[in-house]
Amino acid sequence: MKYGEIAYIKNPVPRIILGTAVPAVQWGKNCDELFDAALEAGVNAIDTARCYMRSESVIGEWMERRGVRDKIFLISKGGLDGVLGNKRLSQRCIRADLHRSLKALRTERIDLYFLHRDDPSRDAGEIAETMNALIAEGKIGAYGASNWTHERIEQVQEYAYKHRLQPFSASQPHYSLAEAVRMPWQGCLTLTGAKRASARAWYRSSGMAVLAYSPLGRGLFSGKFSSADLAGARRAADAAGRRGFFTEENFERLRRCEEIAKRRGLTVPQTALAWVLGSEMNVFAIVGTSRGDGLRADLPAADVALTPAERAYMNLQSETC
């Protein structure tokens, strides 16, 4: 397993992070086999969120049962908009969400805590001050932004630097080989497509860690169907995946990914993940799975270096590679 650096995080973080927004974990099933396999393989970073149903409780129970909290790089998220659309980035709401997450996770500290949605009406300085207070209290180690624009992130960064506070360490948007034409959940943000070129340029120049969710295009590159099997794709993908990623261009990306995978002796998921991890941005891939063997099958992607020609070909930027 390859590791990378995230600002204000002492130890290296695995380039592939275990995501838990999957049915087995969210529904509260015993997932010891999955978590044990991840830790054994060197994937000691686990991503969850307050809104992932019973995910935090399942992780907390496993860590307590195994006695491995000190070995886990724990990531969670709070501050998601309420069901009535009410924003939850006040100091009171942030603290309430964090308190619930700490209790469910059976821990006193979350290593990297993301604010799940932005509230542009909230002052950037107020957010930075709140998060730094939580760092000073030892409740979080670092903080990040999930589905925030880079312009808004920069506002918080500028305030933090000016006032000698710890700034954001990371961002969690969607990023994959497949261009997202419609995001599956309200308020989500992607770094894919020509319209987001300036955002990708900002991440390249800033070096901020990008923890990419849905790096396999919500199952488009899962290997469960081929680019020629549209009927199989429709059966295998959920409504969000079909709505967000089922385009002619993305199926051509899948076809080319299949071509490179066959040439390289890789699986389609490994090849698609290698494309994500080979970005010039400081990218980490959040991979959601319910099975240990599923996670282990994806891990070789971290060691694959696609050529610039292969990357361009897979992303429809050239016709040869």
Q: Is residue 281 part of a domain?
A: no
The domain of 66 spans 3-172
Q: Which amino acid is at 266?
A: L
pLDDT of residue 115: 98
For 252-266, what is the mean pLDDT? 98
Separation between Cα atoms, residue 23 and residue 17, nearest integer Å = 17
Confidence of residue 256 (pLDDT cuts 50, 70, 90): very high
Dist. CA 5–CA 14, nearest whole Å: 9
Q: Please, what is the average pLDDT of the chain? A: 96
For residue 218, pLDDT over 90 is answered with yes
Asked if residues 156 and 127 have their Cβ atoms less than 8 Å apart, the reply is: yes
For residue 309, pLDDT over 80 is answered with yes
Percentage of the chain modeled with pLDDT above 90: 94
Query: Which whole number is the average pLDDT over 87-102?
Result: 97
pLDDT at 108 exceeding the cut of 90: yes
Taking CA atoms, 253 is separated from 68, 220, 244, in Å, by 40, 10, 15
Structure token digits, residue 295: 């996670």
Whether residue 291 is contained in a domain is answered as no
Q: Report residue 145's pLDDT band, with 50, 70 and 90 as the boundaries.
A: very high
Whether residue 109 lies inside any domain: the answer is: yes
Please list, residue by residue across 162-199, b when 16 or more beta carbons sit within 10 angstroms of its beta carbon and e when fewer do: eeebbbbbbbbbbbbbbbbeebbeeebbbbbeeebeeb
In a domain, 277, yes or no: no
pLDDT band of residue 321 (cuts 50, 70, 90) is: confident
For strands 3-4 and 13-14, give the pairing. Answer: antiparallel
Residue 264 resides in a domain: no
Asked whether residue 280 is assigned to any structural domain, the reply reads no
Q: Give residue 1's pLDDT band: very low, low, confident or very high (50, 70, 90).
A: confident
Residue 279 counted as domain residue: no
* DSSP structure string for 25-94: HHTT---HHHHHHHHHTT--EEE--TTSTTHHHHHHHHHHHHT-GGG-EEEEEE-PPPTTS----SHHHH
Q: Computed from CA positions of residues 270, 271, 273, 278, in that sequence, does the dihedral angle turn out positive or negative? A: positive
Q: What was the pLDDT predicted at 36?
A: 98
- Cβ neighbours of 5 (radius 10 Å): 11
The total number of structural domains in the chain stands at 1
Amino acid residing at 10: K
- Report d(CA 108, CA 106) in Å as an integer: 7
Confidence of residue 84 (pLDDT cuts 50, 70, 90): confident
Q: Is the pLDDT of residue 236 over 80?
A: yes
pLDDT of the residue at 186: 84
Write the CATH number for 42: 3.20.20.100
- The CA-based diameter of the chain, rounded to the nearest angstrom, is 56
> Distance from first CA to last CA of the chain, Å, rounded?
27
> Is the separation of the CB atoms in 301 and 270 below 8 Å?
yes
Is the pLDDT at 221 greater than 90? The verdict is yes
Residue 122 lies in a domain: yes
- Token pair belonging to 178: 């497949």
- The 10s digit of each residue's pLDDT in 30-66 is 999 999 999 999 999 999 999 999 999 999 999 999 9
What residues form DSSP beta bridges with 17?
286
Cβ-in-10-Å burial (0-12, 13-18, 19+) of 52 comes to: buried
Res 192: pLDDT: 97
Task: State the pLDDT at residue 185.
Answer: 81
